[in-house]
Amino acid sequence: MALRADLALLFGTAIALGLPQASAAQQTFALPQGCTAYVSIQSRDCSVTHHFTCETDPEGFQRRVDFDQDGPVFFSVIDAETQWVESFSPRSGSTSRLTPGAADPASFSDLMASGEDTFDFLTTSDVFGGTRHVGADRLTGQVETIDGVVLQVTEFEAAAYDSGGGLLYSSTGQQYVNADWGTFLAGTEVTDNGEEVFTSDGRPMAFDFPGDPGFLSTQPIYGCDVVLSLLEVRP
């Protein structure tokens, strides 16, 4: 399942996620002890993402940290099926955690085996409260090669509801998956919260691996001087 945060990117609990207090002044992200990064991704929405694993985590768990020009904006942990385990937004101060007993857990295995996976699960945020997430991811059959990395294209639809059943937002869009990495990568997305419609484009532009000059860089390099998000205010 594509990891979609509170609509606020996720710091106060960086310790809970096992992450150091990174700052905008840092040029290279310092991994926590016992952790190993396998790829850094520069995206066209002026962000850079680092994917890594840690020895102390259960088998199959992965971690991720995103930076924009002003510093870290998102920390997350997913399990082997790409289920949202925990995430943290420095900007909102919110930590969100998966509530046990999902009605329909996200399953990366099902997506790769059948071409489609539905999900229906709950998360709890210490700032925003409970949220129900419902939707589906599908493989389109398309394959793209970006900077030498082969990616399968997906399409998704998702909706989030508050604890009273009210719609918080709905999203549709296109993302990517890498079967070897067992994770989703951002693509294009349209999000509607009932008052505004946001269009974003976080498609990957470049991949840096251990030994590459850009590996673990905290400085995004693409799209930072152009407006990549469109806002439509409803009448």
Print burial letters for 168-197: b (CB count within 10 Å at least 16), e (below 16).
Answer: bbbbebbbbbbeeebbbbbbebebbeeeee
pTM for the predicted model, two decimal places? 0.85
Q: Is 90 exceeded by the pLDDT of residue 89?
A: yes
- Give residue limits of the domains in the chain: 35-233
Of the candidates 185, 192, 206, the one whose C-alpha atom is nearest the C-alpha of residue 157 is 192
pLDDT in tens, 151-203: 999 999 999 999 999 999 999 999 999 999 999 999 999 999 999 999 999 99
The mean pLDDT of 54-82, rounded to a whole number, is 96
Q: Is 80 exceeded by the pLDDT of residue 18?
A: no
Q: How confident is the model at residue 235 (pLDDT cuts 50, 70, 90)?
A: very low
The mean pLDDT of 79-98, rounded to a whole number, is 94
How many CA atoms lie less than 13 Å away from 72 in the CB half-sphere? 27
Evaluated on CA atoms 221, 152, 9, 234, the torsion sign reads positive
